[in-house]
Amino acid sequence: MSVPVLLDVDTGIDDSLALLYAVASPEIDLLGASCVAGNVPLDAVVSNTAAVLDLAGRCDVETAPGCDRPMARPLKTTPETHGPTGTGHAMPAASPDRSSERSGIDLVIDTARSRPGEVTLVALGPLTNVAVALDREPRLLTLLDRLVIMGGCFGVAGNTAPRTEWNTHVDPEAARAVFAAAGRGACNLPLVMPLDVTEQARLLPHHVARMAEIGGESMEFLDPLLAGPEAGRLMSFITDALRFYMEFHQRYDGFYGAFVHDPFAVAAAVDPSLVTTVETTVDVETAGELTTGETVADFRDSWGRPPNAAVAVAARADVFLERLVVRLGGLLRSRP
């Protein structure tokens, strides 16, 4: 039986792979995508999201624009990581009038209300949309089956500041509001996928080569990653996007490959066996001189508060990567 899933995205490169993973997964019923400003401004997020879904053959998936800025701060984007438009060297185009007439906030609330206890919401960008939706519908976390959050770091270095992960860095006030709400009666504790586990999943050129082979694509690997002249549109998108992402990681992280944070969060949302979790209390620093945006987990119960999160502390990254390669390879075979 498939799991009804909503994705909340700020579509850059790994969000694109997450969308493709959701489309390619038989156990996922993708209901829609709410968009939030983060990796790139909102208009680019909406365009990228719709374009990726169209390339994957899912023009029917609603793509709805949400918040165009954080709750209390100016928007910071990351063109150095995802490129000026958010998809690296790829330049996909969405169909005209592809954006939904209702907001991403309404998409989340309406869907949760219409299917109480059924829907999993996977938040892959800053938590602005989720926080605003909670303000409008305080029952949201009880209406959802579960909220899954890609964000935070606890025992590893941050990717934005020494102890800060990008999504919480962009809108720490929103993240703090969401964790506060989760401590007031969510049916299932939110699953948090921090850098501690998502950075265990490194997509390397040999993974993409095998993906292409499974998909029946002509693929030529030079240095850098390069699609062969006969590659299909979806394969060309994947390789053009990943080439930029891998170049970024080579410059900043010392390896030619890519952390695939967002698809790992989607995979764990529907297969909890991919991660080991610890129930704890999480809060977010919003006023630190050096630590604004830091996610703090009370693993020793110093605060004495009820748990508000199930934090992933270990993961079967190899199983996930194999699944990602096989599923995207299968999607490539089915698309022109």
Question: Which stretches of 183-276 are DSSP H helices?
Answer: 195-198, 205-214, 233-253, 261-270
What is residue 60's DSSP assignment? Answer: T
Structure tokens at 51: 């374009």
Q: Which of 82, 89, 207, 261 is catalytic?
A: 261
Query: What does the DSSP 8-state code read for residue 273?
Result: G
Pairing of strands 28-35, 3-9: parallel
Rounded CA gap, 126 and 149, in Å?
A: 9
Q: How does strand 120-123 pair with strand 258-259?
A: unpaired
Residue carrying structure tokens 């998409």: 107
Contacts 24+ apart (CB under 8 A), 216-225: 216/332, 216/333, 217/332, 224/256
Contacts 24+ apart (CB under 8 A), 206-211: 207/321, 207/324, 207/325, 208/238, 208/239, 208/242, 210/325, 210/329, 211/238, 211/325, 211/328, 211/329, 211/332
Burial class (CB in 10 A: 0-12, 13-18, 19+), 253: middle
261 catalytic per annotation: yes
Residue whose structure tokens are 């958010």 = 86
Active site residues: 261
